[in-house]
């Protein structure tokens, strides 16, 4: 049963789990069933609360145990780290999940664990919890389960029948960097469970074509995460990896996690006063461009620009590099081209495409619809009175990209970007043996 001691264990294990940023509870719609508790909603997931760091709390994100046999440098739970260790009992996790869910605190459970004894042993215990939740507690809400690299296919297959989403974290985009920080791991060990899950999803899809009542396997697909700023990998490496992953049919989300200095004693890692939040934000913007705005990786980053511009968002950066694509005529341009205009999002583009069937749109109309013109006005032409040959008065081609850029960067953004660029300059890791004597 739950006691005061549970309180302390939950605190320790939540603190150990919090660096895993995945939070979504969407991707699968499953209505409530008689005799079961809960449902899952699709579309925009439900975030039940927001912590002081502004990140949403949607799932009960907790580890079964933070004991771990590995010693990965970037991880707070590494073997050699001196932190409080705890293990929640199976019944404690189940009771907390059910009771939290019934009070509408959470959308479901996000369960992870340090690796104890061997991967199969750990995975078996994780699987036992999700099995109990589904079969004994009749829990019908969302379950996100970490797959333990090295666990057997049978265990992953069983876990996948109960979980909505499974994930394995890549953490470091380049294998040589990973080898440096976590000598016991390699990319193969991450991709192997990923492929097993994918195989399960595809087989399940095929089965469901033949038999209507086959239970679904990992219906919300997979996700993964990469740490940003712990190694010298460029944004190009990261985004290439993301784009490769999105090419797989079962991969739904790649998360980016700005590195928080959790292990200051390790000389292989940078000592950051503050996590690289601006860079993380730019990476998410680039991720959105890949997924919703029909961009390709080599349009966002290339040989000349291997890293994203910290001062301006990646779409604006693309636009400034390609003045020849503008101005875009709001009243005739394709939806795809509207999406490429800085400042126009999917919602604005949708509003424009719908409304222009009735009358030609003017800047005034756009403003009323709520289109943000601050950036867009330099890249578009509208239907203005008698201005067909004058317009745009001041567009990107009249101003030239070099003069336009300073107009669109605010002082605050500049300051933030400069501060962070400073941080990454300080980070120049020497090979470990050289620094060892300090």
Per-residue b or e along 242-281, where b marks 16 or more CB atoms closer than 10 Å to that residue's CB = bbebbeeebbbbbbbbbbbbbbeebbbbbebeebbebbbb
CB of 182 closer than 8 Å to CB of 70: yes
Mask for 81-100, x = binds another protein (CB under 8 A): ---------------x--xx
Piece of 65-73, 238-246, 348-356, 398-406 that binds another protein (CB under 8 A): 348-356
Per-residue x/- marks for another protein, 29-48, CB under 8 A?
--xxxxxxxxx-x--x-xxx
* Using rule CB under 8 A, residue 136 touches another protein: no
H or E segment at 414?
helix 411-426
**In angstroms, rounded to a whole number, what is the distance separating the alpha carbons of residues 178 and 180?**
5
CB of 64 vs another protein, minimal distance in Å: 15
260 binds another protein (CB under 8 A): yes
Report angle CA 147, 151, 156 to the nearest 5 degrees: 55
**Integer Cα distance of 38 and 32 in angstroms:** 6
Q: Across the strands, what pairs with 60?
A: 109
The label of the residue with tokens 């990469």 reads 226
Q: Which of 88, 159, 251, 351: binder of another protein (CB under 8 A)?
A: 351
* Of residues 59, 53, 28, the one with CA closest to residue 41: 28
| Cβ-based burial of 431 (10 A; exposed 0-12, middle 13-18, buried ≥19) | exposed
Q: Does 49 engage in binding with another protein (CB under 8 A)?
A: yes
User: What is the torsional sign of CA 300, 301, 304, 305?
Assistant: positive
Determine, following the binding rule CB under 8 A, whether residue 355 of this chain makes contact with another protein.
Answer: yes
Give whichever of 49 and 118 is closer to another protein, judged by the CB atom: 49
205 binds another protein (CB under 8 A): no
Which of 137, 179 has the CB closer to another protein? 137
CA 40 centroid distance within chain:
20
Q: Does the footprint of another protein cover residue 53 (CB under 8 A)?
A: yes
In the block, which residue shows the tokens 């079964």? 64
Among 188, 209, 210, 357, interactor with another protein by CB under 8 A: 357
Out of 61, 144, 185, 282, the residue judged to bind another protein by CB under 8 A: 61
Closer to another protein by Cβ: residue 214 or 369: 369
Contact pattern for another protein over residues 263 through 302, marking x by CB under 8 A:
-----------xx-x-------------------------
209: contact with another protein by CB under 8 A: no
Distances (CA, A) of 143 to 87, 98, 321, 376, 434: 20, 12, 43, 41, 46
| Pick 286 or 352: Cβ nearer another protein | 352
Question: Which span (56-64, 120-128, 144-152, 335-343) binds another protein, by CB under 8 A?
Answer: 56-64
Give the residues lining the site for another protein (CB under 8 A).
2, 6-7, 10-12, 14-15, 17-19, 31-39, 41, 44, 46-57, 60-62, 96, 99-100, 102-105, 258, 260-261, 274-275, 277, 351, 354-355, 357-359, 361, 365, 368-370
């Amino acid at each position: 049963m739950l006691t005061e001691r549970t309180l302390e264990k939950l605190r320790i294990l939540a603190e150990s789990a919090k660096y895993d940023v995945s939070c979504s509870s969407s991707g699968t719609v499953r209505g409530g069933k008689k005799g079961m508790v809960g449902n899952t909603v699709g579309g925009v997931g439900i975030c039940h609360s927001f912590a002081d760091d502004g990140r949403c709390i949607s799932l009960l994100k907790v580890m079964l145990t933070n004991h771990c046999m590995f010693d990965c440098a970037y991880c707070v739970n590494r073997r050699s780290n001196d932190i409080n260790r705890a293990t929640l009992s199976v019944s404690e996790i189940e009771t907390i999940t059910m009771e939290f869910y019934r009070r509408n605190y959470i959308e479901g459970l996000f369960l992870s664990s340090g690796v104890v004894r061997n991967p199969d042993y750990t995975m078996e215990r994780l699987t036992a919890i999700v099995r109990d939740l589904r079969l004994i507690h009749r829990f019908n809400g969302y379950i996100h389960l970490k797959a333990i690299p090295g666990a057997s296919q049978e265990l992953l297959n069983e876990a996948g029948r109960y979980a909505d989403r499974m994930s394995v974290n890549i953490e470091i985009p380049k294998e040589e960097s990973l080898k440096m920080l976590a000598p016991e791991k390699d990319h193969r060990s991450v991709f192997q469970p990923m492929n097993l899950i994918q195989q399960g999803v595809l087989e399940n899809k095929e089965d469901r074509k033949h038999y209507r009542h086959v239970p679904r396997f990992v219906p919300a697909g997979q996700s993964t995460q990469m740490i940003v700023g712990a190694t010298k990998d460029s944004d190009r490496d990261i985004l290439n990896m993301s784009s490769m992953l999105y090419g797989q049919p079962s991969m739904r989300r790649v998360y980016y996690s700005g590195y928080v200095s959790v292990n200051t004693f390790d000389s292989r890692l940078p000592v950051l006063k503050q996590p690289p939040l601006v860079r993380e934000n730019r990476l998410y913007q680039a991720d959105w461009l890949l997924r919703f705005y029909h961009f390709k990786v080599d349009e966002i980053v290339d040989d000349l620009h291997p890293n994203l511009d910290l001062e301006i968002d990646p779409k604006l950066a693309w636009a400034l590099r390609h003045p020849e694509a503008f101005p875009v005529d709001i009243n005739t341009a394709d939806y795809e081209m509207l999406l490429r205009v800085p400042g126009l999002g999917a919602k604005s583009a949708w509003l424009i495409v719908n409304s222009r069937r009735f009358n030609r749109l003017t800047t005034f109309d756009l403003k009323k619809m709520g289109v943000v013109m601050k950036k867009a006005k330099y890249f578009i032409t509208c239907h203005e009175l008698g201005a067909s040959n004058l317009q745009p008065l001041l567009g990107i081609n009249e101003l030239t990209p070099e003069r336009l850029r300073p107009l669109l960067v605010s002082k605050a953004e500049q300051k933030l970007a400069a501060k962070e660029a400073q941080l990454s300059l300080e980070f120049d890791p020497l090979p470990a043996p050289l620094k060892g004597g300090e």
